[in-house]
């Protein structure tokens, strides 16, 4: 019987130890379950954050593509306008050269005409002087003719 009592005591001790271990394990399982729940919530938050980042990245890529398209359109339009302005500028430069050449020719002609006018004015002065001299000569001849008659 003592063996049975010893066995019962050992059995009870083992049972108590097992219950204590079981309680300890339950406690750890509850702690782990709580931690797991927190980790799952954090994981959901991270997944939501990642999803938001992906959506934002997709949106930014779309905006970037639209920007690139608009940039290309604007660049093409501006390049075309620059080409047109260059052609217009060359035409204006050519016209300015022509006008400058014509202006130089006109200035030379103006200088020549001024010289001619100056020469003609000198000739007119000489002719006026000669005319006056001839008129006085005619007057003198008339007076001489009148006095002889």
Q: What is the gyration radius of the CA atoms in the chain, in angstroms?
A: 61
Instruction: State pLDDT tens for residues 3-31.
Output: 888 889 989 999 999 999 999 999 999 99
pTM, full prediction: 0.49
CA distance 96 to 118: 32
Distance CA 114, CA 107 (A): 10
Predicted confidence band at 147 (pLDDT cuts at 50, 70, 90)? confident
CA distances from 138 to 19, 94, 126, 144, 148 (A): 167, 63, 18, 10, 15
Both structure tokens of 30: 């509850």
Render pLDDT for 28-82 as a digit per residue (tens, 0 to 9).
Answer: 999 999 999 999 999 999 999 999 999 999 999 999 999 999 999 999 999 999 9
């Amino acid at each position: 019987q003592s063996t049975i009592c010893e066995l019962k005591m050992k059995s009870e001790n083992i049972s108590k130890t097992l219950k204590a271990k079981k309680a300890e394990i339950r406690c750890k399982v509850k702690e782990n379950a709580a931690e797991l729940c927190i980790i799952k919530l954090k994981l959901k938050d991270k997944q939501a954050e990642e999803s938001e980042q992906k959506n934002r990245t997709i949106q930014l890529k779309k905006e970037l593509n639209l920007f690139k398209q608009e940039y290309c359109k604007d660049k093409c339009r501006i390049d075309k306008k620059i080409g047109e302005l260059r052609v217009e500028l060359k035409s204006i430069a050519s016209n300015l050269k022509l006008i400058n050449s014509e202006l130089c020719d006109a200035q030379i002609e103006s200088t020549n005409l001024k010289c001619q006018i100056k020469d003609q004015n000198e000739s007119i002065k000489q002719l006026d002087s000669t005319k006056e001299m001839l008129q006085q000569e005619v007057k003198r001849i008339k007076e001489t003719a009148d006095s002889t008659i």
